[in-house]
Amino acid sequence: MSFDPVYKLVKQIPRGRVLTYGALARALRLAGGARTAGRAMGATPRGKGIPWHRVLGASGKILIREPYASLQKKLLESEGIPVVESRINLKKHLWTPPRNKVSAIKKTLRSVTHR
């Protein structure tokens, strides 16, 4: 499976906003749900401008291990998102993807998986 549709949606998360692994999986209807979204984020290619640090656990918690957890915290804080005890305030910073953008990405996903 190609994770390109996942990366395409993650690139649309605005600066200062975040998305959860579960919300990412639901938006794209990923088989395997949040775990698949987590695998995709763990395999994010470098140098492609994918803001991997904007994807968090369901409770707004940083779930990755060090040294990347510290880097994720630093990147989130640089965007004005306070991190307290490895958590952010989801009520304040959660992003909801517009349906039209998600629909376009899902079309791409279907065409990739049906080849």
Whose structure tokens read 């994770």? 3
Distance, in Å, from the CA atom of 31 to the CA atom of 28, rounded to the nearest integer, reads: 9
CATH hierarchy code of domain 4-110: 1.10.10.10
Distance, in Å, from the CA atom of 48 to the CA atom of 10, rounded to the nearest integer, reads: 12
DSSP string for 53-105: GGEE-TTSB--SPTTHHHHHHHHHHHTT---BTTB--HHHHB----HHHHHHH
- Domain limits of the chain? 4-110
Contact at 8 Å (CB) between 20 and 96?
Answer: no
Per residue in 23-75, pLDDT (tens digit) is 999 999 999 999 999 999 999 999 999 999 999 999 999 999 999 999 999 99
Is the pLDDT at 100 greater than 90? The verdict is no
pTM: 0.84
Per residue in 61-70, pLDDT (tens digit) is 999 999 999 9
